[in-house]
Structure 1
Amino acid sequence: MTDPKSRPARGTRARIARGLGATAAVLVVGTAGVGAWFYQRLDHNISTFSADGIATSRPPAGPTASGGGRPVNILLLGSDTRQDGNSDLGGGDEGVGHSDTAILLHVYADHQHAVGVSIPRDTLVTVPACKLPSGAWSTAKNNQMFNSAFTIGEYPQGNPACTQNTVEAMTGLRIDHTVVVDFKGFAAMTDAVHGVDVCVPNNVNSYGIHLTKGLQTVSGQQALDYVRARHGFGDGSDIGRMKRQQAFLSSLIKKIRSQGFNPTTLLPLADAATKALTVDPELGSAIKLADFAQTLQNIDLSDISFVTVPWRYQGDRVALVHPDVDTLWGLLRQDRTLTGQSAADPAASASPSDPASASPAPTASAAPAAGDIPLTVHNASRSTGLGGQAAADLKAKGYQKIVVGPDAAFRRTTLIGYAEGRQDAATQLAQLFPGAELRADPGSDGLTVTLGRDYAAGREPGADGGQPTGVPTTLPTGIPTGITENTRPADSDLCADLSFG
């Protein structure tokens, strides 16, 4: 612990303050320091869990990039414990919490790109041996709900080490840091930033939760309700809830960045966030959090994506889809993006082994031109998730400035709109969408793709059970649809693809 009589040098104080911004924006946690008194206060706020429960046999660290950087994996867990007054926000009786929210954040070796992988709480997994309060280790069990790992040993504040062991065994990825946030901390953080903008897909009036359809700013209890509620949204599934959580995190990152990394904004957030955290010992102080956060602050919202693990229902539980999920873990172990690219070279082909990467682009200049043109994708096909899927396909073809906009009114044929002076670019884009209609759009500053039913039909299996026809054959990525269909760019429109079912 820091000596109360000592004061960090000015450079240290600045580093801690900058670190807060990066941490809060990327990890939804933070730390800051403007003097020894506040630094000590934050240190007292932070709780750690014992490293004794982390498995001794672990995956290796990720590959070191040519520039010397190494990828970092952070496991973000939302605990639903009712201990320590959390029942006032979550309802119910006090008891051991589950990890009903789990996001594996993979920060690429260049530390300028990241992807958050959502793991459904009901996913059936193997929970490996985990340490019990007695010091003994449990027996590994198959076909267990993912969120049950957090309850092994019935520790009052949960067992994050067991959840970390489970994720490492499942993915083959080494988890560098684990962070747990509870109800009170989450609500306090949203209050500290004066609310977060969200989109409610429909009116909700059930289980004591009341939310009105449309764009709005939520904080405290309402923010917690928005990310926790299942009933009243879509089919009431955990899958739909994860879509809202991904959108919420994106909006929180945007909010913190828009307010600026200054003490007025950061200190209340630092105080609230550190009170909410339980972290591994390697992040167990304000200065450690700040130093780590320094390595993350250059990640822009446009360089973050979210993906839900490839999944399917198995009764009332969720099963992982193989080999799609194996491809996902393999991409991350190789530090490659969801489209198979090197994160350090976003315009590169999808993958050296992808046959599509050897195919010529529609024209020699298509990819370079595409990377400079703003492109908005709207889904008008009435098929859920196609906006994000199309965005991933287009990024694999070199279109980098992509935003997924809100769903549009139903169309049978895909429409490509173009701004003044962009007709040639629209013609190039149309080669990737055979049969698409082209139309001048004076209100646009780039290109717009409104996906019609023809796009959705092109992604469905043929009547004979063969490969999909249409657009997928002109936008091949070599990446399974279980990944592309479950991807959401962090800079998507808040109202895009929120409901499942």
Structure 2
Amino acid sequence: MTTSTSRAVPPRHRSAAGTRRRKPVRRGRLALAISLSLLLLVAAGAGWVYLKLDGDINTFDAGGLSDNRPAAGSSKGENVLVIGSDARNDGNAALGGGDVNDIGRSDTAFLLHVYADHKNAVAVSIPRDTLVTIPPCKLPDGKWTTAQPDMFNAAYSVGETAKGNPACTQNTVESITGLRVDHTVVVDFKGFAALTDVVGGVKVCVPQNVYERDLNPKRPTRGKLLFEKGEQEVSGQKALDYVRIRHGIGDGSDIGRIKRQQAFVASLMKEVKSNGLSPTKLLPLADAATKSLTVDPGLGSADKLISFAMSLKDIDLHNTKFVTIPWRYKGARVAIVEPDASDLWAALKADRTLDGKDASGKKKTSPSARPTAAATPVSGKGITVTVYNGTTVTGLAAKAATELTAAGFTVTGTATARSQDHATTVIEYGPEYRSKAQTVARAFPGAAVQPVPGAGINVVVGESYKGGSTASPQPTAIPKDVTEDARSADDNPCSNLTYG
């Protein structure tokens, strides 16, 4: 007894050979059906991958960002703050040692400015020991601190939690630079090690043999050899050890370590670029990175993160520069050099590269094009002013003085005001200088004008001043100490390691 359910084919549907004739359109439909099925499977798989990535991404509380931020859209470029965290929570102690409940700190930090033309970029490193004024920051209990002077890396530790405080570091960077940070990315030990593994290793240059005690100065013996002198590839734990070494290599300074970290990030970018920036290539990187990334809510999904990464694919390695904020030693710490730092921030805000080129992506206006309305420039010719910092934000008076000088004003000096609680800028003037004081006020929209018997013209900068408010200032040159010390992402890993 048969169980077959096949039915006899009527004779009119048989060929001379006795088999069923299949119409060509059926084969086409079958191929189409198979193709659509495969596409659905691929789409479902991609959807699963994106869903998985979304589940791995951690975001920090945007409620901790300051209400007193630089204006959005002041530059067409983007500013991305990258923080390397030495937090030991969430399995990081296995890679870095230490107490899992220890306070999270920022081991390294740089501000990446992606120019509006998306063909140029510059990363500005901020030494961890830099003396700054940390602005008000949100504590875990919801309260806010008051502004206080401290080292830069202390901002990440405000609140003394194991996971750290990225929002406070972002607030501090915005306060220092006057630039709005569009995105913040925190990479911990695990994420860093995973990234270097996925790209297959990163080329580095080691100036001397390095041993375990060089990584941990408290170790009683020299220990085993970690790195042999010379150029080599590192990944995973070894890559992490390389970027963390400070005391036993080069001159032992944090500045020296920054030099090596810049060279490392340049080599990492070179490896990623050589592998190709396509979604297929980016997914393994994203999978490795998102497991240990903490980002701002603006990058808090897989599509946003990968879309941002894809937007960087046209940036040339030679046009990607690494510099350090203008600095000098102040005892055992680092102080920001003004007005050099302000000149650097002004250049980034104007989307000017280190060599002075316009990278704003704006098309040059043709002679026949209709001119657009522009604000009337403020001319400071023949007007002498003194600038005072009426806030606790370091360098604000110097920043205002630089912009006033660029607009033609004569600045006799800068100083700290008698009180540092000025919310808005005030223009003080003696009765005979009223007209000139009103001209100065035009350079500070919203400023109050106040007569003071016996005074000349004083600008008391308030918290409302964020820089860039003077009308049509002339571009200032970026200091040579910054440009001459710059590293390109395509440089040899052994070059320009002055401190290493």
TM range (shorter): 0.5 to 0.7
Q: Matched residues in 2 for 1:345 and 1:38: separation?
A: 34
Q: Please state if 1:52 is matched with 2:58.
A: no
Give the match's secondary structure for 1:251.
helix
Asked if 2 retains the 8 angstrom alpha-carbon contact of 1:206 and 1:231, the reply is: no
Aligned partners of 2:214 and 2:247 also within 8 Å: no
Shift of 1:293: 2.5
Question: 1:35 is paired with a residue of what secondary structure?
Answer: helix
The aligned counterpart of 2:302 is 286
Contact preservation (8 Å) 1:177, 1:282 = yes
CA contact (8 A) 2:66 2:171 kept: yes
Residue aligning to 1:212: 228
Residue 291 of structure 2 aligns to a residue whose secondary structure is helix
Distance, in Å, in 2 between the alignment partners of 1:47 and 1:244 is: 28
Please give the alpha-carbon distance, in whole angstroms, between the structure 2 residues aligned to 1:492 and 1:149. 32
Check the 8 A contact 1:59/1:168 in 2, yes or no: yes
Secondary structure of the 1:289 match is helix
Alignment partner of 1:275 is 2:291? yes
Please say if residues 116 and 361 of structure 2, whose CA atoms lie closer than 8 Å, have aligned partners that are also in contact.
no
Show CA shifts across 1:38-75 (max 9, x none).
111101110000100000111113446xxxxx210000
Q: Distance in 1 between matches of 2:98 and 2:239?
A: 18
Task: Give 3-state SS (helix, strand or coil) of 2:174's partner.
Answer: helix
Deviations 1:305-354 (A, max 9, x none): 011011111111111111111111111121111233212589x9xxxxxx
Counterpart code for 2:134: V
**Partner letter of residue 111 of structure 1?**
H
Secondary structure in structure 2 of the residue aligned to 1:149 = helix
**In the alignment, what sits opposite 2:359?**
343
The answer to whether the 8 A contact 1:123-1:320 is kept is yes
Distance 2:247 2:359 in 1: 38
Structure 1 residue 175 displacement after superposition: 0.3
Q: CA deviation at 1:265?
A: 4.4
Letter in 1 for 2:297: P
Take 1:341 and 1:228, find their aligned partners in 2: how far apart are those partners?
A: 35
List aligned pairs for 1:178-189, cutoff 5 A.
Answer: 178-189=184-195
Partners of 1:337 and 1:343 within 8 A in 2: yes
Name the aligned partner's letter for residue 49 of structure 1: F
- Residue pair 2:279, 2:306 contacting (<8 A) in 1 also: no
**Greater displacement, 119-128 / 87-96:** 87-96
Residue equivalent to 1:361 = none
Query: CA offsets per residue over residues 214-269 of structure 1, 9 Å max, x none?
Result: 11110011100111110222111111111111111111111112223467744332
Provide the C-alpha distance between the structure 2 equivalents of 1:321 and 1:287, rounded to a whole number of angstroms: 40
Mapping 1:47-446, distance limit 5 Å:
47-63=58-74, 70-94=76-100, 95-142=102-149, 144-207=150-213, 209=215, 210-261=226-277, 265-343=281-359
> What is residue 17 of structure 1 aligned with on the other side?
none
**Distance across 2 between alignment mates of 1:344 and 1:153:** 39
Provide closer, same or farther for how the CA distance between residues 243 and 34 of structure 1 changes in structure 2, counting only shifts above 3 A: farther
- The reply to whether residue 490 of structure 1 matches residue 493 of structure 2 is no
Identity of aligned residues (%): 60
DSSP 3-state at the match of 2:318: helix
Q: Are the structure 2 counterparts of residues 264 and 74 from structure 1 closer, same or farther at C-alpha, using a change threshold of 3 Å?
A: closer
Structure 1 pair 269/290, CA: closer, same or farther in 2 (3 Å)? closer
Q: Structure 2: where are the runs of 5+ without partners? A: 1-35, 216-225, 365-475
Aligned length: 340
Residues of 2 paired with 1:294 and 1:333: CA distance?
23
Matched-pair contact (CA < 8 Å) for 2:79–2:111 = yes
Match of 1:40 among 30, 34, 51: 51
Between the aligned partners of 1:34 and 1:339, the Cα distance in structure 2 is 46
AA aligned to 1:317 is R
For residues 195-225 of structure 1, give each alpha carbon's deviation from its aligned partner in whole angstroms, at most 9, with x where no partner exists: 1111112221242642111111100111001
What is the letter of the counterpart of residue 310 of structure 1?
A: P
Q: CA deviation at 1:96?
A: 1.6
Larger Rg: 2
Q: Is the 8 A contact 2:200 2:235 kept in 1?
A: yes
Distance 2:45 2:282 in 1: 11
For structure 1, the 5+ residue unaligned runs are 1-6, 15-32, 65-69, 349-476
Distance 1:294 1:324, change over 3 A: same
TM-score (norm 1): 0.64
AA matched with 2:487: R
Letter in 2 for 1:149: A
CA contact (8 A) 1:62 1:173 kept: no
User: Could you say if the C-alpha distance between residues 173 and 75 of structure 1 is closer, same or farther in structure 2, counting changes exceeding 3 Å?
Assistant: same
Deviation at residue 304 of structure 1 after TM alignment: 0.4
Contact 1:62–1:334, Cα closer than 8 Å, also in 2: no
Superposed CA deviations along residues 377-432 of structure 1, whole A, max 9, x for unmatched, are xxxxxxxxxxxxxxxxxxxxxxxxxxxxxxxxxxxxxxxxxxxxxxxxxxxxxxxx
Q: Contact 2:80–2:185 at 8 Å: present in 1 too?
A: yes
1:261–1:342: structure 2 CA closer, same or farther, 3 Å change rule?
closer
Distance in 1 between residues matched to 2:292 and 2:305, nearest whole Å: 14
* Residue-by-residue CA offset, 1:436-468 (whole Å, 9 max, x unaligned): xxxxxxxxxxxxxxxxxxxxxxxxxxxxxxxxx
- Runs (4+) of structure 1 moved beyond 3 Å? 261-267
C-alpha contact 2:243 2:261 (8 A) present in aligned 1: yes
Q: In 1, Cα distance between the equivalents of 2:139 and 2:360? A: 42
Could you tell me whether the CA contact under 8 Å between 1:321 and 1:482 is conserved in 2? no
1:481 maps to amino acid: K
- Tell me: CA distance 1:498–1:41, structure 2 relative to 1, closer, same or farther (3 Å): same
2:242 partner amino acid: Y
Q: TM-score, normalised by structure 2?
A: 0.64
Q: 1:10-45 CA distances to partner (integer Å, 9 max, x unpaired)?
A: 79x99xxxxxxxxxxxxxxxxxx9522111110111
